[in-house]
Every structure is written in structure tokens, then in C-alpha cells.
Amino acid sequence: MQNKKERVLFAREDIAYRIREMGIEISEYYKGNEIVVISLLRGSFIFTSDLVREIKSPVEVDFMTTASYGDEEVSSGMVNILQDIRTDIKNRDVLIVDDIIDTGNTLSKVIEHLSKKQPKSIKICVMLDKPSRRKVDLQPDFSGFVIPDVFIVGYGLNYGNYYRNIPYIFTFE
């Protein structure tokens, strides 16, 4: 745990409001067609649970666990798939949901992995986008907030093993 002061970037209400908007955007995009939502654990579990409840299309939810080798704070570029999905996604519309896109290494590795299962489409949805840190050419199709290069915690995002349960998004000053 930290003794540093917190600076709140997005309050609980800001997040809820934005997710309702994203739900509308995603629902309009898929026009009532079924979606397989693939949530990347552990960071996106809270975002996913809020987001899917704002989507009007029929949704099947599955989970995948990825880990970057080494310290989670600095992406090493090496991404390991610790647990795969169980759903058959062949010819289906897949929406990958993650907490944050930083370098983009995680999502590009996940896309490469899921593409082999021959889905009809793959789109990316993230709560936060840190475009200044990108190392691969990848843009999210749906994103909640664009943020500068600061380390974020709360709302599913961790520092050490803590803070995922904090209901707002903040940084340490």
C-alpha cells in the first residue's frame, strides 16, 4: 500500500456515464446481432461487468487470462496466454474487452491468437487508451477515455496486487 496522495481522474459517476454511452455505441454498431465478449483477466473484470449490462445485443461472455512477463507496470513486450477461452468463436462477432491499451502488445498478441480460431470479426473495446505509449500499430474500436502517460489505478486496474476494487480511476501524485 502507498502513502502517496491520490488524484482522481474519473469519478464513479463519470465512468458510469461514459459506459452508458459506450453501450449505446456498441449496441448501434452490432445492430442487435449476437456478440461474443472476451474479457481479459484480471484487469477488465469490473469494466466488463458494467459494460455488458449496457449492451442491447445478445452477449456471450468468456474470459482469457494474459500476463506480460515481468513487472506489470512496465510492459516487456512478451505476452503469455495463461488461460484460453472455452467458447467456439468460429464465424462469430468477437469483442475483446480490456481495461487499458498501453503499448498495445497484449491486445495485438490476443488478436493474433484469436484470429486463428476464424471469427467473423474482431473488435477491441477498452476503458482507457494511452496512445502516447503505443509500440504497435493498433487503435481500439471503442474506448472510454484517452489519457496521458500516467500510471492508473482503480476500477479493475492494480498496483501491486491492490486497488482493483476502488470504484473510481486515480493516479498517485
Footprint on this chain of ligand IMP (rule: CB under 6 A): 43, 68, 72, 75, 98-106, 151-152, 157
Name which of ligand IMP, Mg ion, none residue 62 binds, using a CB cut-off of 5 to 8 Å depending on partner kind.
Answer: none
Residue with nearest beta carbon to Mg ion:
43
- End-to-end Cα spacing for the chain: 14
Closest to ligand IMP by CB, 29 vs 172, is: 172
Nearest-5° Cα angle at 127, 122 to 132 = 90
Residue 102 annotated in active site:
yes
How is residue 130 written as a grid cell?
A: 494511452
How is residue 36 written as a grid cell?
A: 461474443
Binding residues for Mg ion (CB under 5 A) = 43
Query: Measured from the CB of residue 32, what is the shortest distance to ligand IMP in angstroms?
Result: 30
Residue 46 phi/psi, 5° resolution? -75, -45
Name which of Mg ion, ligand IMP, none residue 14 binds, using a CB cut-off of 5 to 8 Å depending on partner kind.
Answer: none
Query: Measured from the CB of residue 70, what is the shortest distance to ligand IMP in angstroms?
Result: 11
Q: How far is CA 61 from the centre of its chain?
A: 14
**Considering 102, 137, 141, 149, which one is annotated as catalytic?**
102
Closest to ligand IMP by CB, 94 vs 157, is: 157
Angle of helix 45-52 relative to helix 12-30, nearest 10 degrees? 60
Name which of ligand IMP, Mg ion, none residue 152 binds, using a CB cut-off of 5 to 8 Å depending on partner kind.
Answer: ligand IMP
Residues 6+ apart with CB under 8 A from 120: 91, 92, 93, 94
How is residue 144 written as a grid cell?
A: 472510454
Query: Measured from the CB of residue 118, what is the shortest distance to ligand IMP in angstroms?
Result: 24
Query: Measured from the CB of residue 141, what is the shortest distance to Mg ion in angstroms?
Result: 18
**DSSP character for 133?**
G
Closest to Mg ion by CB, 122 vs 128, is: 128
Residue 77 φ/ψ region, left for φ over 0, alpha for ψ in the -120 to 50 degree band, beta for the rest:
left
Closest to ligand IMP by CB, 57 vs 75, is: 75
Which residues are known to be catalytic? Answer: 102
